[in-house]
Amino acid sequence: LSDEVYEWMVYPPAGHVRIATLPGMWERTVTLGSAGKTFSVTGWKIGWAIAPPRLAHAVLMAHQWIPFAVGTPLQEAVAVALEQAEERRYFDWLGATYWAKRNRLLGVLQDVGLTPIVPDGSYFIIFDTSTL
């Protein structure tokens, strides 16, 4: 099971590598994605799983009992967003936007005397609080 919900928020020079693309991994990997993380709609609770047929069937069997309620119009909105994201270069914009925000926050933390650990991706920053 590979949780790749931050795949579009990886900062240069790092790059995202899907586990399922590595030799021998496709047939034994379920890759998870998240509309909440990708499109900033966390309250919608919509994601996806990508897997070979044998594993996809197992995911489907479990999934039928797990969700409480997801609005069909929201699922359609995510489908349209995914279809349009590539042609509109949304994923490039998302990564660049979070990279700029990361750099700004790193500067602020350093300016106030904290030592951040520079992340290669996502929107979290951890910093050393021992000087507080």
CATH 3.40.630.30, applies to 2-128: no
Query: For position 124, what pLDDT does the model report?
Result: 94
Q: Which two tokens stand for residue 48?
A: 């996806």
Residue with tokens 């489908």, as numbered in its chain = 79
Indicate the pairing of strand 31-34 with strand 2-3. parallel
The overall average pLDDT reported for the chain is: 94
Q: Is the CA virtual torsion 52, 54, 55, 60 positive or negative? A: positive
Tell me which DSSP letter residue 128 carries: E
Quick one: pLDDT at residue 69? 74
CA distance linking residue 113 with residue 108, whole number of Å: 9
Q: What's the pLDDT tens digit per position in 51-92?
A: 999 999 999 998 888 777 778 899 999 999 999 999 999 999
Q: What is the pLDDT of residue 64?
A: 82
User: What are the domain boundaries of the chain?
Assistant: 2-128
